[in-house]
Amino acid sequence: MMYLMVLGGFVLLFGGGEWLVRGAVGVARRLKISPLLIGLTIVAFCTSAPELLVSLEAATQGQPDISIGNVVGSNIANVLLILGAASVIWPITVDRHEIRRDLWVMLASVSLLAGLGMTGQIEGWHGGLMVGLLIAYVWYSYWTEKYRGAPSAGLHEEEADEFEGVTQRLWLALVYLALGLGALIAGSKMLVSGAEEIARSFGVSEAVIGLTMVALGTSLPELATALIAAARKHSDVAVGAVVGSNIFNVLSILGITALVKPIPFSAQIASFDVWIMIGASALLVPLLMGRGRIGRLSGALFLAGYAGYILYVY
Protein backbone atom coordinates (compact mmCIF):
# COMPACT_ATOMS: atom_id res chain seq x y z
CA MET A 1 0.00 0.00 0.00
CA MET A 2 2.79 2.41 0.89
CA TYR A 3 4.40 1.94 -2.53
CA LEU A 4 1.09 2.66 -4.24
CA MET A 5 0.81 5.84 -2.19
CA VAL A 6 4.29 6.96 -3.26
CA LEU A 7 3.61 6.05 -6.90
CA GLY A 8 0.28 7.84 -6.79
CA GLY A 9 1.96 10.85 -5.20
CA PHE A 10 4.56 10.92 -8.00
CA VAL A 11 1.86 10.80 -10.66
CA LEU A 12 -0.19 13.56 -9.04
CA LEU A 13 2.87 15.76 -8.48
CA PHE A 14 3.99 15.32 -12.08
CA GLY A 15 0.57 16.01 -13.57
CA GLY A 16 -0.28 18.68 -11.03
CA GLY A 17 2.96 20.55 -11.59
CA GLU A 18 2.45 20.54 -15.35
CA TRP A 19 -1.20 21.67 -15.10
CA LEU A 20 -0.30 24.37 -12.59
CA VAL A 21 2.42 25.86 -14.81
CA ARG A 22 0.23 25.77 -17.90
CA GLY A 23 -2.74 27.25 -16.07
CA ALA A 24 -0.67 30.00 -14.47
CA VAL A 25 1.08 30.90 -17.74
CA GLY A 26 -2.28 30.88 -19.55
CA VAL A 27 -3.81 33.27 -17.00
CA ALA A 28 -0.71 35.49 -17.08
CA ARG A 29 -0.82 35.76 -20.86
CA ARG A 30 -4.53 36.48 -20.79
CA LEU A 31 -3.83 39.31 -18.34
CA LYS A 32 -1.13 40.66 -20.70
CA ILE A 33 1.74 39.98 -18.29
CA SER A 34 5.08 40.20 -20.08
CA PRO A 35 6.98 37.01 -21.01
CA LEU A 36 9.90 38.39 -18.98
CA LEU A 37 7.90 38.45 -15.75
CA ILE A 38 6.29 35.07 -16.56
CA GLY A 39 9.70 33.42 -16.95
CA LEU A 40 11.22 35.19 -13.97
CA THR A 41 8.46 34.41 -11.47
CA ILE A 42 5.54 32.25 -12.60
CA VAL A 43 7.45 29.42 -14.28
CA ALA A 44 10.08 29.26 -11.51
CA PHE A 45 7.55 29.36 -8.68
CA CYS A 46 5.09 26.89 -10.23
CA THR A 47 7.76 24.29 -10.99
CA SER A 48 8.79 24.60 -7.32
CA ALA A 49 5.20 24.26 -6.07
CA PRO A 50 5.53 20.49 -5.38
CA GLU A 51 8.50 21.20 -3.08
CA LEU A 52 6.49 23.87 -1.26
CA LEU A 53 3.44 21.70 -0.61
CA VAL A 54 5.49 18.64 0.36
CA SER A 55 7.71 20.67 2.73
CA LEU A 56 4.68 22.33 4.34
CA GLU A 57 2.91 18.98 4.72
CA ALA A 58 5.99 17.34 6.24
CA ALA A 59 6.69 20.23 8.63
CA THR A 60 3.13 20.41 9.92
CA GLN A 61 3.06 16.62 10.36
CA GLY A 62 6.18 16.72 12.53
CA GLN A 63 8.59 15.39 9.87
CA PRO A 64 11.15 18.22 9.53
CA ASP A 65 13.85 15.95 8.06
CA ILE A 66 11.61 15.26 5.06
CA SER A 67 10.94 18.99 4.76
CA ILE A 68 14.62 19.98 4.72
CA GLY A 69 15.76 16.88 2.83
CA ASN A 70 13.19 17.55 0.12
CA VAL A 71 14.69 20.96 -0.69
CA VAL A 72 18.35 19.96 -0.38
CA GLY A 73 17.80 16.74 -2.36
CA SER A 74 15.78 18.57 -5.03
CA ASN A 75 18.57 21.11 -5.54
CA ILE A 76 21.12 18.31 -5.90
CA ALA A 77 18.85 16.45 -8.34
CA ASN A 78 18.17 19.63 -10.32
CA VAL A 79 21.87 20.10 -11.06
CA LEU A 80 23.24 16.57 -11.33
CA LEU A 81 20.21 14.65 -12.63
CA ILE A 82 18.21 17.19 -14.61
CA LEU A 83 21.04 19.19 -16.18
CA GLY A 84 22.97 15.96 -16.66
CA ALA A 85 20.08 14.33 -18.52
CA ALA A 86 19.32 17.48 -20.54
CA SER A 87 22.92 17.93 -21.69
CA VAL A 88 23.22 14.25 -22.68
CA ILE A 89 20.16 14.71 -24.93
CA TRP A 90 21.50 17.98 -26.37
CA PRO A 91 24.66 19.81 -25.18
CA ILE A 92 23.85 22.96 -23.23
CA THR A 93 25.27 26.20 -24.55
CA VAL A 94 24.42 29.41 -22.74
CA ASP A 95 25.51 33.05 -22.93
CA ARG A 96 27.68 33.58 -19.86
CA HIS A 97 26.29 37.07 -19.36
CA GLU A 98 22.69 35.78 -19.36
CA ILE A 99 23.20 33.36 -16.49
CA ARG A 100 25.86 35.16 -14.44
CA ARG A 101 23.66 37.07 -11.98
CA ASP A 102 21.22 34.23 -11.29
CA LEU A 103 24.07 31.76 -10.88
CA TRP A 104 25.69 33.89 -8.18
CA VAL A 105 22.34 34.39 -6.44
CA MET A 106 21.85 30.61 -6.42
CA LEU A 107 25.28 30.09 -4.85
CA ALA A 108 24.54 32.77 -2.25
CA SER A 109 21.20 31.11 -1.46
CA VAL A 110 22.64 27.64 -0.88
CA SER A 111 25.47 29.16 1.18
CA LEU A 112 22.87 30.91 3.34
CA LEU A 113 21.15 27.56 3.85
CA ALA A 114 24.46 26.01 4.91
CA GLY A 115 24.90 28.80 7.45
CA LEU A 116 21.40 28.24 8.83
CA GLY A 117 22.19 24.53 9.08
CA MET A 118 24.95 25.36 11.56
CA THR A 119 22.40 27.03 13.87
CA GLY A 120 20.38 23.80 14.14
CA GLN A 121 17.02 25.32 13.26
CA ILE A 122 15.42 27.62 10.69
CA GLU A 123 13.41 30.07 12.80
CA GLY A 124 10.39 32.07 11.75
CA TRP A 125 12.42 35.27 11.41
CA HIS A 126 14.92 33.40 9.23
CA GLY A 127 11.99 32.47 7.00
CA GLY A 128 10.84 36.09 6.84
CA LEU A 129 14.35 37.19 5.88
CA MET A 130 14.55 34.53 3.13
CA VAL A 131 11.18 35.52 1.64
CA GLY A 132 12.22 39.19 1.80
CA LEU A 133 15.47 38.42 -0.02
CA LEU A 134 13.53 36.55 -2.71
CA ILE A 135 11.14 39.47 -3.24
CA ALA A 136 14.11 41.86 -3.48
CA TYR A 137 15.85 39.57 -5.99
CA VAL A 138 12.76 39.26 -8.20
CA TRP A 139 12.08 43.00 -8.09
CA TYR A 140 15.70 43.90 -8.88
CA SER A 141 15.90 41.31 -11.66
CA TYR A 142 12.71 42.55 -13.29
CA TRP A 143 13.75 46.20 -13.02
CA THR A 144 17.25 45.69 -14.45
CA GLU A 145 16.02 43.43 -17.25
CA LYS A 146 13.05 45.55 -18.29
CA TYR A 147 14.48 49.04 -17.91
CA ARG A 148 18.22 48.49 -18.29
CA GLY A 149 18.21 45.66 -20.80
CA ALA A 150 20.17 43.14 -18.70
CA PRO A 151 21.33 40.13 -20.77
CA SER A 152 19.44 37.68 -18.55
CA ALA A 153 16.13 39.02 -19.90
CA GLY A 154 16.47 36.91 -23.04
CA LEU A 155 16.82 33.68 -21.07
CA HIS A 156 13.78 34.36 -18.89
CA GLU A 157 11.69 35.18 -21.95
CA GLU A 158 12.79 31.90 -23.56
CA GLU A 159 11.59 30.04 -20.44
CA ALA A 160 8.13 31.57 -20.92
CA ASP A 161 8.22 30.75 -24.65
CA GLU A 162 8.57 27.03 -23.83
CA PHE A 163 4.88 27.22 -22.87
CA GLU A 164 3.84 29.02 -26.04
CA GLY A 165 1.18 26.43 -26.83
CA VAL A 166 -0.82 26.88 -23.61
CA THR A 167 -4.50 27.73 -23.81
CA GLN A 168 -5.50 31.36 -24.29
CA ARG A 169 -8.99 30.77 -22.87
CA LEU A 170 -9.21 32.19 -19.38
CA TRP A 171 -11.78 29.70 -18.10
CA LEU A 172 -9.74 26.74 -19.31
CA ALA A 173 -6.55 28.16 -17.80
CA LEU A 174 -8.37 28.53 -14.47
CA VAL A 175 -9.50 24.91 -14.71
CA TYR A 176 -5.86 23.87 -15.25
CA LEU A 177 -4.88 25.95 -12.22
CA ALA A 178 -7.53 24.35 -10.01
CA LEU A 179 -6.74 20.82 -11.18
CA GLY A 180 -3.02 21.39 -10.77
CA LEU A 181 -3.34 22.76 -7.26
CA GLY A 182 -5.70 19.97 -6.21
CA ALA A 183 -3.40 17.29 -7.63
CA LEU A 184 -0.38 18.82 -5.89
CA ILE A 185 -2.13 18.93 -2.52
CA ALA A 186 -3.30 15.31 -2.82
CA GLY A 187 0.03 14.15 -4.24
CA SER A 188 2.05 15.82 -1.48
CA LYS A 189 -0.05 14.14 1.24
CA MET A 190 0.26 10.73 -0.42
CA LEU A 191 4.00 11.06 -1.03
CA VAL A 192 4.83 12.20 2.52
CA SER A 193 2.66 9.47 4.12
CA GLY A 194 4.04 6.74 1.85
CA ALA A 195 7.63 7.90 2.31
CA GLU A 196 7.25 7.88 6.10
CA GLU A 197 5.99 4.28 6.03
CA ILE A 198 8.80 3.16 3.72
CA ALA A 199 11.40 4.81 5.98
CA ARG A 200 10.01 2.93 8.97
CA SER A 201 9.78 -0.43 7.17
CA PHE A 202 13.38 -0.29 5.90
CA GLY A 203 14.81 1.26 9.02
CA VAL A 204 16.27 4.25 7.18
CA SER A 205 15.93 7.80 8.38
CA GLU A 206 13.30 10.22 7.17
CA ALA A 207 16.19 12.48 6.11
CA VAL A 208 17.38 9.85 3.61
CA ILE A 209 13.86 9.40 2.22
CA GLY A 210 13.48 13.18 1.93
CA LEU A 211 16.83 13.59 0.19
CA THR A 212 16.15 10.87 -2.36
CA MET A 213 12.64 9.57 -3.00
CA VAL A 214 10.70 12.69 -2.00
CA ALA A 215 13.20 15.04 -3.63
CA LEU A 216 13.04 13.12 -6.89
CA GLY A 217 9.25 13.16 -6.86
CA THR A 218 9.03 16.90 -6.31
CA SER A 219 11.62 17.56 -9.05
CA LEU A 220 9.49 15.88 -11.73
CA PRO A 221 8.08 19.18 -13.13
CA GLU A 222 11.61 20.58 -13.60
CA LEU A 223 12.71 17.28 -15.16
CA ALA A 224 9.81 17.33 -17.63
CA THR A 225 10.47 20.97 -18.57
CA ALA A 226 14.19 20.35 -19.03
CA LEU A 227 13.82 17.18 -21.12
CA ILE A 228 11.22 18.76 -23.39
CA ALA A 229 13.44 21.83 -23.86
CA ALA A 230 16.45 19.61 -24.59
CA ALA A 231 14.49 17.57 -27.14
CA ARG A 232 13.65 20.88 -28.87
CA LYS A 233 17.37 21.77 -28.78
CA HIS A 234 16.66 24.57 -26.30
CA SER A 235 18.85 23.13 -23.56
CA ASP A 236 19.86 26.60 -22.36
CA VAL A 237 16.29 26.97 -21.08
CA ALA A 238 16.93 23.99 -18.79
CA VAL A 239 19.74 25.95 -17.11
CA GLY A 240 17.48 28.94 -16.47
CA ALA A 241 14.74 26.69 -15.10
CA VAL A 242 17.10 24.80 -12.78
CA VAL A 243 18.93 27.86 -11.45
CA GLY A 244 15.65 29.72 -10.89
CA SER A 245 14.05 26.69 -9.22
CA ASN A 246 17.03 26.22 -6.89
CA ILE A 247 16.80 29.85 -5.78
CA PHE A 248 13.05 29.54 -5.17
CA ASN A 249 13.50 26.20 -3.37
CA VAL A 250 15.74 27.72 -0.72
CA LEU A 251 14.36 31.24 -0.30
CA SER A 252 10.67 30.61 -0.98
CA ILE A 253 9.93 27.00 0.00
CA LEU A 254 11.97 26.88 3.22
CA GLY A 255 11.23 30.54 3.92
CA ILE A 256 7.46 30.09 3.75
CA THR A 257 7.61 26.77 5.61
CA ALA A 258 9.65 28.34 8.45
CA LEU A 259 7.12 31.18 8.70
CA VAL A 260 4.40 28.57 9.26
CA LYS A 261 6.47 26.45 11.63
CA PRO A 262 10.18 26.62 12.61
CA ILE A 263 12.12 23.75 11.05
CA PRO A 264 14.72 21.79 13.06
CA PHE A 265 17.77 21.21 10.86
CA SER A 266 19.03 17.62 10.82
CA ALA A 267 22.69 17.37 11.83
CA GLN A 268 23.13 14.64 9.21
CA ILE A 269 21.90 16.90 6.40
CA ALA A 270 23.78 19.96 7.72
CA SER A 271 27.11 18.12 7.96
CA PHE A 272 27.06 16.29 4.62
CA ASP A 273 24.21 16.74 2.16
CA VAL A 274 24.17 20.54 2.25
CA TRP A 275 27.82 20.51 1.18
CA ILE A 276 27.05 18.13 -1.68
CA MET A 277 24.40 20.66 -2.76
CA ILE A 278 26.93 23.51 -2.61
CA GLY A 279 29.53 21.43 -4.47
CA ALA A 280 27.07 20.50 -7.23
CA SER A 281 26.05 24.16 -7.57
CA ALA A 282 29.68 25.30 -7.65
CA LEU A 283 30.40 22.87 -10.52
CA LEU A 284 28.28 25.09 -12.75
CA VAL A 285 30.59 28.09 -12.32
CA PRO A 286 33.57 26.88 -14.39
CA LEU A 287 31.30 25.16 -16.90
CA LEU A 288 28.84 28.01 -17.49
CA MET A 289 30.93 31.05 -16.57
CA GLY A 290 34.11 29.68 -18.09
CA ARG A 291 33.20 27.52 -21.08
CA GLY A 292 29.58 28.58 -21.38
CA ARG A 293 28.79 24.96 -22.15
CA ILE A 294 27.86 21.62 -20.57
CA GLY A 295 28.70 18.89 -23.07
CA ARG A 296 27.51 15.30 -23.22
CA LEU A 297 30.57 13.99 -21.36
CA SER A 298 30.05 16.45 -18.51
CA GLY A 299 26.36 15.53 -18.47
CA ALA A 300 27.19 11.84 -18.21
CA LEU A 301 29.56 12.59 -15.31
CA PHE A 302 26.77 14.56 -13.61
CA LEU A 303 24.46 11.54 -13.91
CA ALA A 304 27.15 9.20 -12.59
CA GLY A 305 27.75 11.56 -9.68
CA TYR A 306 24.05 11.60 -8.82
CA ALA A 307 23.87 7.79 -8.95
CA GLY A 308 26.90 7.60 -6.66
CA TYR A 309 25.34 10.07 -4.22
CA ILE A 310 22.09 8.08 -4.05
CA LEU A 311 23.98 4.82 -3.43
CA TYR A 312 26.08 6.48 -0.70
CA VAL A 313 23.18 7.96 1.28
CA TYR A 314 21.39 4.61 1.27
Domain ranges of the chain: 2-313
Question: Which residue in 246, 263, 281 sits closest to 134, CA to CA?
Answer: 246
Question: Which residue in 58, 62, 61, 69 sits closest to 207, CA to CA?
Answer: 69
Residue 281: predicted pLDDT: 95
Which one is predicted more confidently, 154 or 106?
106
Residue 204 contacts by C-beta under 8 Å, 6 or more apart in sequence?
Answer: 314
pLDDT digits (tens, 9 = 90+) for 264-289: 998 889 999 999 999 999 999 889 88
Residue 252: predicted pLDDT: 93
Which one is predicted more confidently, 192 or 85?
85
2-313: what CATH class? mainly alpha
Query: d(Cα 212, Cα 306) in Å, to the nearest integer?
Result: 10
pLDDT digits (tens, 9 = 90+) for 158-209: 777 766 666 667 778 788 778 888 887 787 778 777 877 777 787 778 888 8
Query: d(Cα 122, Cα 117) in Å, to the nearest integer?
Result: 8
